[in-house]
Amino acid sequence: MIRQYELVEKVKSYDPDVDEDIINRAYVFAMKAHGSQKRASGEAYFSHPVEVAYKLTQYRLDAASIVTALLHDTVEDTDVTLDSIEASFGKEIRGLVDGVTKLSRLEGKSENLKQAENFRKLLIAMSEDLRVLLVKLADRLHNMETLSHIKNPEKRQRIARETLEIYAALAERIGMRNIKEELQDLAFTELYPEARESIVTRMQFLREQGAAEVEKTKEVLREKLAAAGLGNATIQGREKKPYSIWKKMETKKISFEQLSDIVAFRISVDTIAECYQALGVIHAEWHTIPGRFKDYISTPKSNGYQSIHTSVLGPAQQRVEIQIRSHDMDEVADYGLAAHWSYKQGANAGKDGKKMRWIRELLEILEQSDNPEEFLENTKLEMYQDQVFCFTPKGDILAFPRGATPVDFAYGVHSGVGDTCVGAKINGRIVPLRTLLKNGDQVEIITSKTQTPSPSWERFVVTGKARSEIRKHIRVSQRTEYITLGRAILSKTFKQEGEEFIEKMIEPHLPHFNKKTVEDVIAEVGEGVISRQQVFEVVIGQKKPLPPSGVTSMLSSLSNPFRRKKAEAGTPMPIKGLIPGMAIHYAGCCHPIPGDRIVGIVTTGKGITIHTMDCETLENYSDSPERWIDVAWERDQNDATNIGRLKVNVSNETASLATVTNVIARENGNISNFKIINRSMDFFEILIDVEVRDVRHLGNIIANLRSKAVVQSVERWQT
């Protein structure tokens, strides 16, 4: 465990004028507060906050951040209160500790709700002071380093997945690559140990085989740059991390052998002008790979990252990825936000959190979201995706996740532009709103004051901001529909019994319905959550048998597109956009599963057939648009019997089929059909039907199969 004087000396090494007293007092305060508490590893609990504080010294953070790290668990895990922290250390430290402390009194809530509530609190705190986020990331990093001591495997998996989806994404957002990669690798080790081990083993083999080639390439680069007057350049060869390789195999749908950039070469120079000079030297010497050039210096990433990326056919006629940046850009790439401000900014450090666009957008999502879990879902969409850069007609640059559409762009400009969007031009040409944006597109949004958001937009937008705004509009429209329908139902019901319905009659009975307003009660009558008979009996104070109202029932189910599906109606329909009771079946040609973009086709004698949007069979219906139905998966659809068909090409060697089936089994997939369709001396070609939960589950299976040396290729298959 780091000792008191070691921590103080570490801070003094970069801040000689630091207030040693406050760090010493915080060290002793936290040690006494945690007392004899132990961690799951058996170590003294106090070792954890000390390690978190020491990690922050690597980023040269101010004394307030170090003190917050020492105290961050005292309020949550001991009898210490925020008032006592303020009395001992001041208001600033109280605010930082409060921001890092998890919400209490969440017993009985689901893990998803706890996670969502805690993330909401963290977001609000870090919008006020970004040092809260830095302490939280260091806290999570040390927790992940000691994760193996937790005995419950389900808890370890939950923590690891949360780390990948939230904390690694947050580290990426503020440009802290080192922490991001450490968090990803630790989570990867827990979630997919076999896939990671396979990648590490193969990387070790390549490292041994290609060490001489890497040094030769570095030497050639050094000679060429020196000849051009760039003898001051430093050159490093850097391996991609196992998780980064696995993720690329998954997203690009390629095997390990097809990766061309497992080792990237980084050239660091003094100035921006020298960056472009080095680029000219490299492009003049070697052929470039089309589509593999990115200039993040002229167009920085939203987290401040700047660099030039290019790929060339290098000295040995092999693909070589090269990154070119200045020494200052190097520091930002490694330390991100912490490279811009540290102890020198003292109490003002991090106070401009709301000025960062991505935090403002997350706060907007928070305001629009109806519940914490929805907010967390939209936030994950917003944070954790690769980006494309597009231009407004005035030349401003906006960054969006890959897969973004003009509707996402419209909401990225302003919520008012998104709400009134009726069309879009990309590079001067009118395009459908579903069109995917590409790097460098110039997008112009066409608006109309009479336009309102379409519920169908939710099915293709990818940004959390767009989705939250559309859902907000849907909720408002839904509530209006419910209230109108509820008033009509109650008026008719009371009239049939010789009573006049007056809304104020419900006011005294609001506690009975556990509602705050009369409109809340009326809306739930329209929705079908509260029955008309229940309202009549409570308000009038007597029971009267009410006749069934076929008209009311019909209006409720057909006129109200937002009507909630009742549990007693049987298994909920897994598809949105269809009339309840309509016969559906899934196309055997494309095997759609939850997560796929889908479309319904009216089929004679079969009802509705569900296809994936990229199914080749759909070409047969291009001349019959009246048969197409816009549908989507229900959000809570978790049926474990969805069939995904895979085509796998494996080496014809001992235990290769066992490797394939073991991977599928370990990922909780169930093989329902297995067929060898082609066989040669060297390879087997196999079709495998796998029962999975959704497209993400299938994607994990595919990625893990690709990590195996015996698997040459794997892809989803359509017949």
Tell me what pLDDT residue 323 has: 92
- pLDDT value at position 189? 92
Band of residue 407 on the pLDDT scale cut at 50, 70, 90: very high
Confidence check: pLDDT of 698 > 50? yes
Residue 715 host element (H or E): strand 711-716
CB 138 within 8 A of CB 300: no
Q: Give the pLDDT confidence score for residue 118 in this predicted structure.
A: 65
Chain-centroid distance, C-alpha 609: 31
Residue 694 · residue 653 · CB < 8 Å = no
Topology annotation, domain 642-716: Alpha-Beta Plaits (3.30.70)
The pTM score is 0.60
Q: How far apart are alpha carbons 552 and 554 in whole angstroms?
A: 5
Q: How far apart are CA 398 and CA 411, in angstroms?
A: 11
Element (H, E) at 599: strand 598-603
Determine the Cα–Cα distance for residues 414 and 412; give it in Å rounded to an integer. 6
Cα separation, 313 vs 322, in Å, equals 11
Q: 367: buried, middle or exposed (CB in 10 Å: 19+, 13-18, 0-12)? A: exposed
Domain covering 355-451 assigned CATH 3.10.20.30 in the classification? yes
Residues designated catalytic: 76-77
Residue 509 is given by DSSP the state G
Check if CATH label 1.10.150.120 holds for domain 4-192. Answer: no
Instruction: Choose from 118-122, 531-535, 632-636 the range with maximum mean pLDDT.
Output: 531-535
Q: Is 60 exceeded by the pLDDT of residue 132? A: yes
Q: pLDDT value at position 362?
A: 58
The DSSP letter of residue 101 is S
State residue 557's pLDDT score: 37
CA distance 181 to 334: 10
Under the banding of pLDDT at 50, 70 and 90, the label for residue 397 is confident
For the ranges 77-91, 95-109, 433-447, 521-535, the maximum mean pLDDT occurs at 77-91
3-state secondary structure of 331: helix
pLDDT(33) > 70: yes
The string of pLDDT tens digits covering residues 244-269 is: 888 878 777 777 766 666 778 999 99
What pLDDT digit, counting tens, does each position of 156-182 carry? Answer: 998 898 888 778 888 887 778 888 899
Six-digit token pair at 345? Answer: 């900014």
Residues sharing a CB contact under 8 Å with residue 618, sequence separation 6 or more, in sequence order = 599, 601, 611
Q: How far apart are CA 287 and CA 221, in angstroms?
A: 14
d(Cα 65, Cα 132) in Å, to the nearest integer? 8
Q: In the chain, what are the domain boundaries?
A: 4-192, 194-338, 355-451, 472-564, 575-633, 642-716
CA distances from 263 to 196, 339, 496 (A): 17, 25, 79
Q: What CATH architecture applies to the domain 194-338?
A: 2-Layer Sandwich (3.30)
Give me the pLDDT at residue 520, please: 87
pLDDT-derived band at 2 (thresholds 50, 70, 90) equals: confident
Q: What sign for the dihedral angle of Cα 314, 319, 325, 327?
A: negative
Percent of the chain surpassing pLDDT 70? 81
Count of residues for the chain? 719
At residue 185 the predicted structure's pLDDT band, cuts being 50, 70 and 90, is very high
The yes-or-no verdict on residue 55 having pLDDT over 70 is yes
Token output for 239: 């391996």
